[in-house]
Amino acid sequence: DVKVTQSSRYLVKRTGEKVFLECVQDMDHENMFWYRQDPGLGLRLIYFSYDVKMKEKGDIPEGYSVSREKKERFSLILESASTNQTSMYLCASSFASGGAGNEQFFGPGTRLTVL
């Protein structure tokens, strides 16, 4: 079974803190993604990575950065957390060969609250 794990299910941080969200996949997938999920907005792509040290901005990258030093691990960083970043964050991964038709496998999500 493909497994995508996220470091925390729930996280509470204060405004201005630096926040790290970690994601690990065990299927040797090339692609990894970070989304945020908000009620009524569905999932919106923050960043994705198609290889180690490679990244591309998604639709809402402002206020976020990412790091991919190893193939299996993709980190989302909030440099200075703000209350409007309170959300559910979902990580996903997929194979690259076969292109856009590949299934993305999702982690369970991290619910981040910024006070």
Partner 1 sequence: AQSVTQLDSQVPVFEEAPVELRCNYSSSVSVYLFWYVQYPNQGLQLLLKYLSGSTLVKGINGFEAEFNKSQTSFHLRKPSVHISDTAEYFCAVTGSGYNKLIFGAGTRLAVHP
Binding residues for partner 1, rule: CB under 8 A, are 4, 31, 35, 40-45, 48, 50, 58-59, 90, 92, 96, 99-101, 103-104, 106-109
Q: Measured between alpha carbons, how far is 85 from 107 in angstroms, rounded to an integer? A: 19
Please state the closest distance from residue 5 (CB atom) to partner 1, in A.
Answer: 10
Q: Residue 38 or 79: which CB sits closer to partner 1?
A: 38
Residue 54 vs 115, nearer CB to partner 1: 54
Toward partner 1, which CB reaches closer, 17 or 54? 54
Single out the residue of 66, 85, 87 nearest to residue 75, CA to CA: 66
Q: Measured from the CB of residue 46, what is the shortest distance to partner 1 in angstroms? A: 11
Strands 110-114 and 10-13: parallel
Smallest distance, Å, CB 15 to partner 1?
Answer: 26
Residue closer to partner 1 by CB (options 8, 104) is 104
Q: Which of 30, 1, 13 is nearest to 89 (CA)?
A: 13
Q: How far is the CB of 39 from partner 1 (least distance, A)?
A: 8
In angstroms, rounded to a whole number, what is the distance separating the alpha carbons of residues 29 and 97? Answer: 10
> How far apart, in whole angstroms, are the C-alpha atoms of residue 55 and residue 98?
19
| Torsion angles phi and psi, residue 37, rounded to 5 | -120, 120
